[in-house]
Structure 1
Amino acid sequence: MTRPTSRDVAGAAGVSQATVSLVLGGKWQGRVSPATAERVRAAAGTLGYRPNLAARNLRLGRTRTALLVVPALTNEFFARVYTGAADLAAAHGFGVVLYPSPDGVGPARDPFASAGAALDGVIASSMAAGAVGELRGAGLPLVMLDSDPADTSSGAAAHVNLDIADGMRQVTDHLLALGHRRFLHLASGVPSWTFDVRAAALADALRGAHVTTARSAHDVHEASRAALTALTLSGPRPTAVVCDDDILAAGACKALRRLGLRVPDDVSVTGFDDLALATAVEPELTTVRLPAERIGERGMAALLAVLADERPDPAVLPVSLVARASTAPPPPS
């Protein structure tokens, strides 16, 4: 049976071979419409097309395997990052191994006898730069996702980030427009660049407003306890609770119910990430949607570019506020 070519895919999708190369190389954003990109992927899948990596002069090792290091396997966000990375990897004849390093602060141990012999590269999602030192020491190219681009200690060849600061600005703009002026920030207790960015953006946006901060582990019950303590402090009660993620927001909602308060009639609550949990709670959460699959895809594309001796462009992906029923104007004073 004749192996399908990029020309076959182009003909089936009704596009040029250059468009096929852009889409399957993960470089289509801003150049090709999402509908066209999906048509190219569908045609490639139907034909069973796999790019000829040798012809593209990729600097591959022996395994065509990448390692994706994440802080946790229980968080849906990282499952979606993996899906985006693995889908693009598969289109290029690569596999992706998923490996957790607790809380993203590491250190991430070498999961193989020798990572350098077992892998061609590493993608680290939401990890501290110092947490991947051992893997970086194996001499593997590294792409960092959702991490500090100014931190050069990881030796990363590329960074792909989400516009986290803008996401928090969208949250605060939404709440300020509703009339809120007293806030509780239920912050992550995990030391991480992404949460530092959220805190800094919130503090900048709410300068002049009354803001109390409480910290919690990423656990609904721990978040409920932290919120309960903060909400029962003396002084005026916050009218809005801004949470660093949806898990913390679910905990805040539990705490408010224990106090006999209604969301959003008495207190508004916002999350971050737009996990499935955001629409499982009642009322459904106002939150920030992060394109998790896309950041995984762009991370894999950046790694493939590095392996091809190309210089990937740094990327910052936009995020969007999803306003739902957990936010409303504050009650009358």
Structure 2
Amino acid sequence: MTTSAHPAPTSRDVARAAGVSQATVSLVLGDKWRGRVSERTAGLVRDTARDLGYRPNLAARSLRLGRTRTALLVVPALTNEFFARVYTGAAEAAAEHGFGVVLYPSPDGIGPARDPFASARTALDGVIASSMATGALGALRSAGLPLVMLDSDPTDRDGDDTAGAAAAHVNLDIGDGMQQVAAHLLGLGHRRFVHLASAVDSWTFDVRARTLATVLHATPGTTLRTVRSRLDVHSARAATEAALTSGEDRPTALICDDDILAAGACKALRRLGLRVPEDISVTGFDDLSLATAVEPELTTVRLPAEQVGRRGMAALLAVLDGRTPDTTGLPVDLVVRGSTALAP
């Protein structure tokens, strides 16, 4: 005796169970429902499809649309928790729309990624990139693939207009994050600052530096020194030790571009016999897991990394569907913990 498996549910089954037409199911599951179907109905269709275990015939759909339903995500490195979380958000959003995400971390670690397109461009629908070399952007433009840039200068142009190939930019409100840090420390009475800045040449770190300088220079009686460091704990410790033993006036606060830099700074202060925050307050940026692993826990700026990935994927899907992507800045929040206190 043989048994037959239950047939896979079809879009007609979903329509019947949800009490809507097949056309409505196609609009919702094809992510083309906005302006045609109410949010309530779209949610009902998605929930019904999930409950029934419905899976669209992606192979047939891809042939019909001329798409592979695959996006490439380019990040500087997966050794940094922030970019791993960006990938998580992008992959989750992609899966909800029947897309896959291929990940391309730079083989050089933190810094611009090399051109990954030579062999892959024909198998992609589009690219989401956090950091890329100019040459890669040029190759992408020539391939005609839509590009969504994450955490990058939305006004950037170079001589070849390669940056102009971006169909959309998705950014965090980095400047506001640094303003929150400065306001917090100024409110605690701090006036002598050292900015432990990332040595990576990128828009996001430039914004942090410019914003901090603008806010502090507008406050009478403040001083600001900038010390650059590579993005690792050892380099940050060495840079901090050098800054604090240079013979210049000791700062009351260290403002770090990244939680990793802040961890290195805290190590340097302990080696020099200084206490955090009694002698010097320290702030970070990103709110990585590291921020609550150190003692005292770091005051830092929380960046919604998963939302960056989700928004980037949503922007790419919008571009592919001929819709206008959402490019509003993602808000960030200052998280106050034990590494900051009143200026000594």
Q: What is the TM-score normalised by the length of structure 1?
A: 0.85
Q: Please state how far the C-alpha of 1:48 moved relative to its aligned partner.
A: 3.3
SS in 2 for 1:187: strand
Structure 2 residue 296 is the aligned partner of structure 1 residue 283 = yes
Q: Please state how far the C-alpha of 1:53 moved relative to its aligned partner.
A: 7.7
* d(CA) in 2 for partners of 1:195, 1:107: 17
* d(CA) in 1 for partners of 2:308, 2:154: 15
- Higher Cα radius of gyration: 2
* d(CA) in 2 for partners of 1:58, 1:269: 55
Alpha-carbon spacing, 1:302–1:57, altered in 2? closer, same or farther (3 Å) = farther
Work out whether residues 248 and 271 of structure 1, in 8 Å CA contact, stay in contact via their aligned partners in 2: yes
**1:166 counterpart residue number:** 176
Q: Please state how far the C-alpha of 1:234 moved relative to its aligned partner.
A: 1.2
Alpha-carbon spacing, 1:43–1:97, altered in 2? closer, same or farther (3 Å) = same
**2:5 counterpart residue number:** none
Alpha-carbon spacing, 1:23–1:310, altered in 2? closer, same or farther (3 Å) = closer
* d(CA) in 1 for partners of 2:29, 2:335: 30
* d(CA) in 1 for partners of 2:156, 2:189: 38
Work out whether residues 111 and 131 of structure 2, in 8 Å CA contact, stay in contact via their aligned partners in 1: no
* Structure 1 unmatched runs, 5+: none
Alpha-carbon spacing, 1:112–1:258, altered in 2? closer, same or farther (3 Å) = same
Give 1:251's match in structure 2, choosing from 248, 264, 276: 264
Alpha-carbon spacing, 1:236–1:157, altered in 2? closer, same or farther (3 Å) = same
* d(CA) in 2 for partners of 1:26, 1:71: 35
* d(CA) in 1 for partners of 2:32, 2:244: 50
Aligned length: 320
Letter in 2 for 1:73: L
Identity of aligned residues (%): 66
Q: Please state how far the C-alpha of 1:313 moved relative to its aligned partner.
A: 3.2
Alpha-carbon spacing, 1:109–1:9, altered in 2? closer, same or farther (3 Å) = farther
Structure 2 residue 231 is the aligned partner of structure 1 residue 218 = yes
Give 1:142's match in structure 2, choosing from 127, 144, 147: 147
Large movers: runs of 4+ above 6 Å:
5-10, 22-27, 37-43, 51-59
**1:180 counterpart residue number:** 190
Deviations 1:168-212 (A, max 9, x none): 000001000011000110000000000000000100111141111
Work out whether residues 5 and 49 of structure 1, in 8 Å CA contact, stay in contact via their aligned partners in 2: no
Structure 2 residue 280 is the aligned partner of structure 1 residue 267 = yes
* d(CA) in 2 for partners of 1:55, 1:281: 52
* d(CA) in 1 for partners of 2:225, 2:33: 42
SS in 1 for 2:175: helix
SS in 1 for 2:224: strand
**2:213 counterpart residue number:** 203
